[in-house]
Amino acid sequence: MKTNILRAMLTLAVISIATTSSTPTFAGGQSRNELTGTSWKLVKFQTGDDATLVPDDGSKYTVTFGSNGRVTSRVDCNRASSTWKSSRPGDLQFGSWSRTSAKCGAGSLHDKIVSEGANVRSYSIKNGHLFLGGMAAGGYYELEPLTTQKRNR
């Protein structure tokens, strides 16, 4: 009888601890964080040699961090997707990217972003903007929230 009561108490303790965890998870067991479910558009790309590249239209350069561990991106005339994870605040890892490979027009930041973007290893959010960095050549991306306005009809 004491063994059954002890088992029941241990089971309740485990359930209580599991349901009050402060770190929720989503598919694949990844912890949720502040990037989960957010979408961003490019403001500028600061290269490692301090050149600043500004897109003609930031909404042509977007990234969306899904709640399922997937990330989708638009890089001018191409689309890309991968997996993402953040084991702790500030760390960011992407899996292998799959993307379309159309040739974008003159003035596109596509080639620079594709060559550097795969090397992103960190992030921070300051004043509502997302900064992606950690690339071997230095530099960073600055993005702002991507908002969609609903039209009144």
Tens of pLDDT, residues 47-105: 888 889 999 999 999 999 999 999 999 999 999 999 999 999 999 999 999 999 999 99
pLDDT value at 146 more than 70: yes
Task: Give the whole-angstrom CA distance, residue 101 versus residue 11.
Answer: 53
Band (33; pLDDT cuts 50, 70, 90): confident
Beta carbons within 8 Å of 3's beta carbon, 6+ residues apart: none
State the DSSP H helix or E strand holding residue 14, giving kind and residue range, or none if neither.
helix 2-19
Q: Which of residues 69 and 112 earns the better pLDDT score?
A: 69
- How far apart, in Å, are the Cα atoms of 48 and each of 62, 119, 135? 21, 12, 9
Question: The dihedral of CA 119, 25, 72, 100: what is its sign?
Answer: positive
Report the range of poorest mean pLDDT among 15-24, 81-90, 116-125, 127-136: 15-24
Model pLDDT, residue 148? 57
Average pLDDT, the chain: 79
3-state secondary structure of 86: coil
Task: Give the whole-angstrom CA distance, residue 94 versus residue 119.
Answer: 9
Q: For residue 142, give the nearest of 152, 150, 132 by alpha carbon.
A: 132
What are the structural domains of the chain?
A: 24-145 (2.40.128.270)
Q: For residue 42, give the nearest of 110, 137, 107, 136 by alpha carbon.
A: 110
Count H helices and E strands in the chain, helices first. Answer: 2, 10
